[in-house]
A and B are shown apart, each in its own frame.
Chain A
Amino acid sequence: MKERKIVLLGQPNSGKSTVFNNLTGARQHVGNWPGKTVEKKEGTFVYNDTTYTVADLPGSYSLSANSDEEIVTRDYIASGEAELVCVLADASQLERSLFMLADYAGIHTPTMLVLTMTDVAVQKGKTINISVLEEKLGIPVIAMNATERREYDKLHRSFEKALKSPRYLNADTLFAGYRQTELYNEALALTPKNGMKHYSVEWIAAKLMDGDKVVADMLADKEAVNAFMQKAKNGSLITSDCKFAWIEELLDGAVIRQKSTSEILTKFDRAAIDKKKGKWIAIGIVLAALCGSMLIASPFMGLGFALIPPLSSFVTTLISLVGGPIWLSDLINTSVCMSVGWVVAMVGFVFGVNLVFGYIEQVGYMARVSYVFDNVMNKLGLQGKSVMPLLMSFGCTMGGASGARVLDNWGQKLLTIALAWAVPCGAIFSVIPTLTTAFFGWGSVLVVIFLFALMFLHMFVTAKIFGRKLSPVENRAGLIMELPPYHKPRWKDIIRTTLNNVWGTFKKAFIVVFVIATVFWVISYSFHEGETSLLQKIGEAIEPVTKLFGLSWQSFMAFIASAISKEGVLGVFSVVFTGEGSIIDMATNVTSADAAITEIMAATISKPEGLALIVAVTFNVPCMMAVASTYNETHSLKWTLKIALYYIVSALILSGVTYHITNIFM
């Protein structure tokens, strides 16, 4: 079978991700560019006995050197690795959207142009004459509604044709425009005669005018280049003039407007962008999304947990039939049966969140959220839309982590997830009140307020610590963003994309939960009747140390368990105090806790120790599913472990400080 390579290039909201997802479906591989905090997405599809690899480059408005994303993008294109560059533009806003094509012009690679959002263009009363564009540009041009499945046959055929007889973009009139300016001719004199790699002299000279440092560093005559860069401070104003003039000329005769634009801001939009109302609408939508996700998740939860008992008894019977030891069936029950059940249960929630967020994004509402929350989230080094996953985390951290997918910048996505871990989730809300009431009675209200104050402090400090690397101050730039027109959602498209994502999550989550559960099982298992587990031995041995953080060995067990799941904390207490049952079963909340456990705890643990425990549990790693989904979203084991370690250490520090301060007063 033949193999061909295509790369997609387009501005944000040009429909690039939609095209990529529809082309490649579940056959995607997402990773990071080596040594860069930039996502690398590749996928494949087969058409007429040829395997096509499609690379989806990060979205940016131009090919300048303002961010790692842009540099990665143009380096990849200029490397010539892809045999065809497919430029995408929004048909409803061609005048602006074709800027990417104008900025790309001069890179010598086979090219084709795809105009998306034809449905919106029709709504706006615009008709586009493709053949006029084709003739002027000298490359194949097609128009399609990227959410419409049946339009892809047309795209496949164009790919095939464009690869068979490669065509290059004709931008002579653009270059002629450049040549009218003196500055451009000076820049030309500095560039090597034959260009560099796939960059033509025209492209290099135009980038020099833009003050592009990366391009400048590639040139030989450093002194002259530096002098030119000093002189050409406003060069990009000139090049942009030429580019927009070229686009205007291009569209002349190619785009026909039938009716004048209707009202720009709809009634809903007026509210959605309002300083106050807009925020409440966004919060309301997240809450609705949360409830919607729960609703979607509940059958999965039922199924997942119902799966465990029959699976377990099957394994136990099977192993006793072949005469295997009991510990083996216990191990398989925990590491495989329990993990499968758990992951099925939890993946339902991820499915719900992805579905709802996918909908909000495809409709075009997410950009409004980004707009109204820009000021607030900026203080944490994040974009406005980070607020959505963070709010989602009040329901479920895993939902927050997978909702962070809406962030187009990898560093910001990771930072958002790191902060989302500090947001107390639904499970914490189910455990903490029980604990606080046991220890503090009516004072528990104060404890909960204290926990929220700690949350804000935690997020602020975490944003500072992780922000330095993930959202460096020098890379932060003021908001310049388009609010795309509302777009009719295609449920089929959203569901298909979501299912693909969820399958990926399922696989990764299972591996992570399997590994953690197995390790935990080994250290917490009593191989002989009455024998204390390794975990308990370690806990007792290091009690002098954990006491510094206000945690007795029993509390420390509960602390460890709270990194597996928050629901299991009470159950683990019940095991360590009564000596009955299995820690791992309790930690994963498969068996319910002894009802009297809170009374036992209140009687044996002092109040300062109790408060320390509550703090430690609340700010520990949320649960192993959160770890799994973080790993799945960031595809970085290193960063996932870094964040997990940071949370364990900071939870201990917080509990230690809490313990020692409250010890003075109580």
Chain B
Amino acid sequence: MKKLTELSGGQKAKIIAIKGDKRYLTRITAIGLNIGCVVEMLQNVKPTPLLVYGRDTMIALNREESEQIVVEVM
């Protein structure tokens, strides 16, 4: 178990938990990242936002809130 922010570039992982308030949960799931979704970390370089690939889509995520996404490395 790791935070999404701890993945390094090229690593694939499955989302197993998402924390946060209701607003964050609706926003993150609406873009396609829900529990069970498999993502690949494309770029994790501070301070630019995270860049992941999930559901055939490149998605940029801010770091602060992404701390709340828990993943399991595959």
By a beta-carbon cutoff of 8 Å, the part of chain A in contact with chain B is 61-62, 64, 66, 92-93, 95-96, 99, 103, 124, 210-211, 233-237, 239-241, 244, 261, 264-265, 273, 275, 367, 370-372, 374-375, 477-485
Chain A min CB distance to B28 (Å): 6
Whether B2 is near chain A, meaning CB under 8 Å from some CB there, is no
A237 touches B31 (CB 8 A): no
Which A residue's beta carbon lies closest to that of B28?
A: A480
B59 touches A237 (CB 8 A): no
CA distance A265 to B16 in the complex (A): 25
Pick from B22, B32, B36: contact of A95, CB under 8 Å: B32
Which chain B residues border A244 with CB–CB below 8 Å? 32, 34, 37
A237 touches B32 (CB 8 A): no
CA distance A34 to B62 in the complex (A): 33
B56 touches A374 (CB 8 A): no
Which chain A residues border B26 with CB–CB below 8 Å? 62, 64, 66, 210-211, 236
The A-contacting residues of B in range 25-39, CB under 8 angstroms, are 25-32, 34-37
Whether B6 is near chain A, meaning CB under 8 Å from some CB there, is no
| Interface size counted on chain B using CB atoms at 8 A | 35
CA distance A484 to B61 in the complex (A): 14
Chain A min CB distance to B37 (Å): 8
By a beta-carbon cutoff of 8 Å, the part of chain B in contact with chain A is 18, 22-32, 34-37, 40, 42-43, 45, 47-49, 51, 53, 55-62, 64-65
Which chain A residues border B55 with CB–CB below 8 Å? 93, 95-96
A237 touches B34 (CB 8 A): yes
Which A residue's beta carbon lies closest to that of B61?
A: A480
B42 touches A99 (CB 8 A): no
Given known A211-B22, A237-B34, A480-B27, contact A275–B60 (CB-CB < 8 A): no
Chain B min CB distance to A422 (Å): 25
Given known A96-B56, A265-B42, contact A479–B49 (CB-CB < 8 A): yes
Given known A96-B57, A233-B22, A478-B64, contact A275–B48 (CB-CB < 8 A): yes
Chain A min CB distance to B68 (Å): 10
B45 touches A275 (CB 8 A): yes
A371 touches B60 (CB 8 A): yes
Which chain A residues border B57 with CB–CB below 8 Å? 93, 96, 482-483
* 8 contacting pairs across A/B (C-beta < 8 A): A62-B27, A96-B57, A233-B22, A240-B29, A273-B42, A374-B48, A482-B58, A483-B58
A264 touches B53 (CB 8 A): yes
B29 touches A236 (CB 8 A): yes
B56 touches A477 (CB 8 A): no
B61 touches A479 (CB 8 A): yes
Which chain B residues border A264 with CB–CB below 8 Å? 40, 42, 53, 58
Which chain A residues border B51 with CB–CB below 8 Å? 273, 371, 483
CA distance A139 to B58 in the complex (A): 30
A273 touches B43 (CB 8 A): yes
Chain B min CB distance to A87 (Å): 15
Chain A min CB distance to B12 (Å): 12
Which chain A residues border B25 with CB–CB below 8 Å? 210-211, 234, 236-237
B30 touches A64 (CB 8 A): yes
Which chain B residues border A370 with CB–CB below 8 Å? 60
CA distance A275 to B44 in the complex (A): 10
Which chain A residues border B56 with CB–CB below 8 Å? 92-93, 95-96, 124, 261
Question: Which 7 pairs between the two chains have the least Cβ-Cβ distance?
Answer: A478-B62, A240-B29, A211-B22, A62-B30, A96-B32, A61-B30, A483-B58
CA distance A60 to B57 in the complex (A): 16
CA distance A66 to B22 in the complex (A): 9
Pick from A96, A237, A265: contact of B18, CB under 8 Å: A237
CA distance A479 to B48 in the complex (A): 11
CA distance A265 to B57 in the complex (A): 11
Given known A62-B26, A211-B22, A371-B48, contact A240–B34 (CB-CB < 8 A): yes
Which chain B residues border A374 with CB–CB below 8 Å? 48-49, 60, 62
Chain B min CB distance to A105 (Å): 14
Chain A min CB distance to B3 (Å): 15
Which B residue's beta carbon lies closest to that of A257?
A: B56
A61 touches B61 (CB 8 A): no
Could you say which of B22, B26, B35, B40 has the most chain A C-beta atoms within 10 Å of its C-beta?
B26
A236 touches B22 (CB 8 A): yes
CA distance A264 to B32 in the complex (A): 17
A372 touches B58 (CB 8 A): no
CA distance A234 to B65 in the complex (A): 16
Chain A min CB distance to B52 (Å): 10
Which chain B residues border A375 with CB–CB below 8 Å? 47-49
CA distance A62 to B43 in the complex (A): 26
B60 touches A481 (CB 8 A): yes
Which chain A residues border B32 with CB–CB below 8 Å? 95-96, 99, 244
Chain A min CB distance to B24 (Å): 8
Could you say which of A92, A96, A480, A485 has the most chain B C-beta atoms within 10 Å of its C-beta?
A480
Chain A min CB distance to B50 (Å): 9
Which chain A residues border B61 with CB–CB below 8 Å? 478-480
Chain A min CB distance to B5 (Å): 12
CA distance A661 to B38 in the complex (A): 61
Chain B min CB distance to A379 (Å): 12
Chain B min CB distance to A340 (Å): 45
CA distance A508 to B17 in the complex (A): 52
B59 touches A482 (CB 8 A): yes
* Additional A-B contacts beyond A211-B22, A273-B48 (4; CB < 8 A): A64-B23, A64-B26, A236-B25, A264-B42
Chain B min CB distance to A277 (Å): 11
CA distance A150 to B33 in the complex (A): 36
Which chain B residues border A484 with CB–CB below 8 Å? 58
CA distance A374 to B62 in the complex (A): 9
A477 touches B45 (CB 8 A): no
Which B residue's beta carbon lies closest to that of A376?
A: B47
CA distance A478 to B24 in the complex (A): 9
